[in-house]
Structure 1
Amino acid sequence: MYSIAGSSTVRVKEGFEDELHVHELSTGDFICIPAWTEHQVCNDSDQQDAVWLVVQHGSHPVGAELADWGGAVTTTHD
């Protein structure tokens, strides 16, 4: 994910027992989030839009929305 404009917060949890890691992104920053890694991307500003470029690979990228960290799947995108 590449931050084109604005600032944002990315929260990442790599496993069930791992701690939640918080990363601040600003314009020009890049973060790589491995497949099937729980994450949340937020624009915490009510003053400025955040614009991201997200690149997924594979012939058919898959995603899922969860009820909570480590929670049940509420929606799948396949």
Structure 2
Amino acid sequence: MVDLEFQLQNAFKSKNLTKEDVENMTNQISVLDGKLRSVHLNAHIDMIDVLNDVQTKLYDELRGYSSDHQ
């Protein structure tokens, strides 16, 4: 994703891109961003099976989901 952003930035700097290039590159970046977000959020779901109740409460508090933060 970082490499694609870098390529897009360089293409703009060189003025060597078309609207189609922009669409293709931003679509690729968006797909990768979506995959990264999915992995990240699924990791939180996986924690449910790993942590006990006390650990889950602390985990939620550290993430800002305790009743004190709502």
> TM bucket by the smaller chain?
under 0.3
TM-score normalised to structure 2 length: 0.20
Higher helix share: 2
Higher strand share: 1
